[in-house]
Amino acid sequence: MDRPGSEDSESWPDWATEPVVVVDHDPAWAGHGILERDLLQALVQTWLTGDIEHVGSTAVPGLAAKPIIDLQAPVDDLGIADAIAQVIAPHQWHYVPPELDQRPYRRFFVKVLDDHRVAHLHLITTGCSRWHQQLAFRDALRADTALVYAYSQLKIRLAHDHYDDREAYAAGKRQFVHDVLSRHKVDTGLRADRPPPQAVHQLFARPARP
């Protein structure tokens, strides 16, 4: 199966190519995260090296987000993804093959209800830098309402500009994430000599919403 945008993209399910929609924060996301986490924790406990974490924008109070719960699970070896896929498939989880996901640090699953994404599961090896980056970014935003406001505004603008391009939307957030993690001295692997876009600087300078 080719990536979205190819000549075969019409064969993709609706959830694989649905547009980017960012909405105001919903306080119910925290509870949904707990429910999804606990269910997965019970299903895949055999392969885990620690607790599953609720990460991403729905894990941050007050932050605008796509209404999709992101969970990351620590494992010793990404090679167990096929085994996990068999266990969680009856619970509406779909495994995205690595050659399509194109992010070698993880194995990726999408939970689908009524042809819409409702949750993502990221399998990440214990000790992987990405694991620590996700937690550090989440915790930095939880501790700083000005960052929450700035990131919300950036995400809303990117969703408007890249409504039908999830990859471009994700790329547009990358420098903001890098800047936040750099402030907290977390290595991001992004080139340090890359100048941040002026728009990101302006967002950092905006005051928190009264």
pLDDT at 189: 59
Q: What pTM was computed for the model?
A: 0.83
Average pLDDT, the chain: 87
Asked if the model's pLDDT at residue 5 lies above 60, the reply is no
The arithmetic mean of pLDDT across residues 112-116, rounded, is: 94
* CATH code linked to domain 9-205: 3.30.460.10
Give dist(CA 130, CA 169) in Å, integer: 19
Span 158-194, pLDDT tens digits: 999 999 998 999 999 999 999 999 998 886 654 333 3
Domain boundaries, the chain: 9-205
Whether the pLDDT of residue 139 is over 60: the answer is: yes
pLDDT, tens digit, 9 for 90 and up, residues 32-60: 999 999 999 999 999 999 999 999 999 99
Please answer whether residues 145 and 208 qualify as being in contact, where contact means their C-beta atoms are separated by less than 8 angstroms.
Answer: yes
Give the CA radius of gyration of the chain: 17
Around 76, how many Cα atoms within 13 Å sit in the side-chain half-sphere?
A: 5
Instruction: Specify the range with the lowest mean pLDDT, choosing from 8-12, 35-39, 125-129, 173-177.
Output: 8-12
